[in-house]
Amino acid sequence: MTNEKLIQKARQALENAYAPYSNFKVGAALLLKNGEVIIGANVENCAYGPTNCAERSALFAAYSQGFRKKDITKIAVITDTPIAASPCGTCRQVMSELLELDCPIVLANLANTDTKISDIKELLPYLFVPENLD
């Protein structure tokens, strides 16, 4: 699947976002090796702490369905911003454990004026990994 098609799936996910407090809607789409796409949207809560980002929503949905990092080929994240927005620190940490470190992370904006392709090694240098707990 092309990056553009995966970004379109993320755009559809963004429409499901529940962001009444920040009005910052985010959509994410995971492409699995079997061709399936799992989407996620951010879901806010008035207490803020229980809020879940789109990236984590998609990843947690995939893992809940039995998929693992070896099954995920790339993720697209889209925001309604002038430039493509990077995942938050919490999402970066989750991605560092639930995605292969070289999994492409496609960042885009709704206006289709900015797209960046990265990976977790670039987005989270000096990452904290399970081996740090040994």
Closest C-alpha among 18, 51, 17, 57 to residue 38: 57
36, 44, 55, 122: the catalytic one is: 55
Q: Active site includes 97? A: no
Give the model's pLDDT for residue 61.
Answer: 98
pLDDT at 52 over 90: yes
pTM beyond 0.75:
yes
Domains (range + CATH), the chain:
3-133 (3.40.140.10)
**From CA 51, how far away is CA 13, in angstroms rounded?**
16
Model pLDDT for residues 55-86, shown as the tens digit of each residue: 999 999 999 999 999 999 999 999 999 999 99
